[in-house]
Amino acid sequence: MTYFADVGALARKDLLLELRARDTLPAMLLFVVSTLVVFHFVLPAESSDLAATGLLWVALLFTALLGLSRSFAAEREQGVIDGLVLAPSDRSAIWLGKALSILAFLGLAEVIALPAYALFFRPVDAGLVGGVVLADVGIAAVGTLLAAMATASRARELLLPLLFLPLAIPIVIGGVGASVSGEPARYLGLLGLYDALFAIICWASFEYVVTE
Amino acid sequence: MSTWSRNNRLPALATLALTLMAAAIALIFFYAPLDEDGLNQKIFYFHVPIAFTAYACFGWGGWKALRHLWKGDEDADLESYVAIHLGVIFGVLTLVTGSIWARYRWGHWWVWSEDQLVLFLVLFLFYCAYFMLRYSLPPGPQRANLSAVYALFGVALIPVSILAIRLSQRFIHPIAFDEGGPNMAGSQFFTFCVAVLAMFAVAATLYHLELAGKRLDIRLRELREALQ
Amino acid sequence: MIHARALEKRYGDKRILRGVSLDVGTEDFLLVTGPNGSGKTTLLRLCAGLAAPSRGELSVGVERGRLGYLGHEPLVYRELTAHENLDLYGRLYRIAERRERTGMLLERFGLWDARHARAGSFSRGMLQRLALCRTLLHEPSLLLLDEPYSGLDDEGERLLDRELAERVARATFVVATHEPERLEQFASARLALA
């Protein structure tokens, strides 16, 4: 169980850093609410509620990207990632710890975003909430690994959305499907499958992202 | 024998590809019967084999990426890159031929209800990002590792996307759902198989050609370095 | 402890290390010297497992958790305090008496009074002291030190001298420096990179 102790220590460190610097979560919250307000003006008066749901997913995705692009900032600045890589813990613990902290940020951003959406557009149902929860897992898993990749490259923040969006298309399909269709089960199933498959790949391959 | 086959693999492959291609074209235009789609149905014999070849290239690139990560085979990085590079070229050709087909069949250059077309668009975007990643890193082991991990993501993305895009048709195009596969006559199926083989042979030739060129570059650089 | 044959490291077209061979025994203190850009840092990174050799063999006879690495960067979070940084590493290295070890090292390196200050507010010399605490925290049996004296003031240099003298019999050392005079007294083997 030392593995989970390592993961816990790393995730705790990220939350502590956020508590200290407060530079990611407030930005995510402000961004998601501003985007929803912008979307009110994007939608013409006669457009259906379904369009608003689609836009909610766009807002959530880009909010996640905003958080992800900052996720390895502390490690990058001082090359601290080397210190974590040298520690005896399994390297995948670095990924899992970071993914959990991203998941916490996403969850907190959505605790604000979903009520705001319900207030501005239309009520939130169980399918939507289920979709958001499962999508968060996939976004955190894949996004964390891609953020680590982007950090290593010259293009950095610029590269992350390019790497992430094609991989996020199944998440969007599953999420929007779960929110708008009468029978969300099969879309939730797709999201669950995506989460499981990509979490395993990320878990197994993270070591290669941080070592040579 | 092995030296002979190594030295002559490329010409042999090229000959095979040319022969198969000529045979496929002859079969497509002079042997395979026309169906109700008329002449534009001929593009089916190009479009689908090209799509298959693109999948094969992506799959091969993913396999080589796995080899690189698993066995630390340095050469596999180059092979994976070359395979994906070819896959993107065939992917673009799939998009172009598919678009032409859609134009003659449905009157539009782009139809979102065609699963294959949408999937190739997603894959095209994905592998463009692969190149962006590769070009934003200095050559070396880190670039090889990151490219390989991303290429593996691609292999997982293909089946998940197929599933997702099929599901998405239910809320985007509720009507266009036809489970029946293509009903091919024997002669059509034969022509189709030859066309697929021909396309594979062309891809294999290009793969070895590009690989040989890239290896020559590397060798040249090493020699130049040794001389310094 | 470390065994390397014909080690080569290249980054793309640039060759940093070329044909380096070395054997470091358990009791050894290897001094690696050479001008800037001769590959001292790269050699230490290879030994630490932070990079893999392009060619040649390298075996390091100690597991990752028993290795202490001091690089150019202090490898600490600027937004965390000195104590929090060491506590995080203490957890990752699974040190049972984390609190005592952390306190003892901070005390030794004269950082006790600054333990609740953010590492980002530290001077270059204080960061180097904190990095030394981080490196020694888990009592490593192989120490890889890259320019350990850089940034230290007279007092800090004396502290490090004392620390090295105490540990030289207990641990294996590979130390890279471009000014070897201060370390000559400890060295049992030398490697000059060109």
User: Which residues on chain B are in Cβ contact (under 8 Å) with C12?
Assistant: 138-140
Q: How far is the C-alpha of A122 from the C-alpha of B150, rounded, in Å?
A: 38
Residue among B126, B131, B168 with most chain A CBs within 10 A, to mutate: B168
Task: Give residue A18's identity as a one-letter amino acid code.
Answer: E
Q: Is any Cβ of chain C less than 8 angstroms from the Cβ of B11?
A: no
Using DSSP's 3-state secondary structure scheme, residue C175 falls into strand
Nearest CA-CA distance, residue C10 and chain B, Å: 7
Domains held by chain A: number: 1
pLDDT of residue A4: 94
Residue among B58, B112, B142 with most chain A CBs within 10 A, to mutate: B142
List, in order, residues 6 or more apart from A20 with CB less than 8 Å away: C79, C80, C118
Nearest CB to B153 within list A187, A201, A208: A201
Q: How far is the C-alpha of C163 from the C-alpha of C158, rounded, in Å?
A: 9
- How many residues does this entry show for chain A? 212
Q: How far is the C-alpha of C108 from the C-alpha of C163, rounded, in Å?
A: 9
B136 and A155 within 8 Å at the Cβ level: the answer is: yes
Strands (E), C63-121: 67-70
Nearest CA-CA distance, residue A181 and chain B, Å: 7
Element at A142 (helix H, strand E): helix A126-152
Q: How far is the C-alpha of A39 from the C-alpha of A36, rounded, in Å?
A: 5
Residue B36, pLDDT above cutoff 70? no
Lowest mean pLDDT among A25-34, B53-62, B114-123, C83-92: B114-123
Nearest CB to B171 within list A165, A166, A181: A181
Q: Phi and psi dihedrals of C30, rounded to 5?
A: -95, 125
Using DSSP's 3-state secondary structure scheme, residue A138 falls into helix
B155's tokens: 């292999």
Taking CA atoms, C99 is separated from C51, C112, C113, in Å, by 32, 13, 16
pLDDT of residue A163: 96
* Tens-digit pLDDT profile for residues C68-91: 999 989 999 999 999 999 999 999
pLDDT of residue A201: 96
B139 and C12 within 8 Å at the Cβ level: the answer is: yes
Q: Could you tell me which residues are beta bridge partners of residue C173? A: C29, C143
Percent of chain B scoring above 90 in pLDDT: 46
B18's tokens: 């040319």
Nearest CA-CA distance, residue B179 and chain A, Å: 18
Q: Is any Cβ of chain C less than 8 angstroms from the Cβ of A87?
A: yes
Nearest CB to C52 within list B139, B141, B225: B141
Q: Which chains does A contact via 3+ CB–CB distances below 8 A?
A: B, C
From the CB of residue B27, how many other CB atoms can be counted at a distance below 10 Å?
20
C54 and B141 within 8 Å at the Cβ level: the answer is: yes
Q: How far is the C-alpha of A81 from the C-alpha of A94, rounded, in Å?
A: 9
Q: Which chains does C contact via 3+ CB–CB distances below 8 A?
A: A, B
* Tens-digit pLDDT profile for residues A51-82: 889 999 999 999 999 999 989 988 887 789 99
Radius of gyration of chain A (CA): 17
Percent of chain A scoring above 70 in pLDDT: 100
Lowest mean pLDDT among B2-11, B206-215, C175-184: B2-11
pLDDT of residue B203: 94
- On whether the CB atoms of residues A152 and A136 are closer than 8 A, the answer is no
* Tens-digit pLDDT profile for residues B155-171: 999 999 999 988 887 66
Nearest-by-CA chain A residue for C80: A17
Q: How far is the C-alpha of B140 from the C-alpha of B149, rounded, in Å?
A: 15
Nearest CA-CA distance, residue A200 and chain B, Å: 11
- On whether the CB atoms of residues A55 and A42 are closer than 8 A, the answer is yes
Q: How far is the C-alpha of B218 from the C-alpha of A150, rounded, in Å?
A: 27
For the segment C101-120, the average pLDDT, to the nearest whole number, is 93
Nearest-by-CA chain C residue for A79: C75
B/e letters for B196-227, b = 16+ CB within 10 Å, e = fewer, are bbbbbbbbbbbbeebbeeeeeeeeeeeeeeee
Ordered alpha helix ranges (H), B35-107? 44-71, 75-106
Using DSSP's 3-state secondary structure scheme, residue A127 falls into helix
Q: A181 is in which domain, residue-wise? A: 2-211
Q: How far is the C-alpha of A36 from the C-alpha of B106, rounded, in Å?
A: 37
Q: Which chains does B contact via 3+ CB–CB distances below 8 A?
A: A, C
pLDDT of residue A22: 87
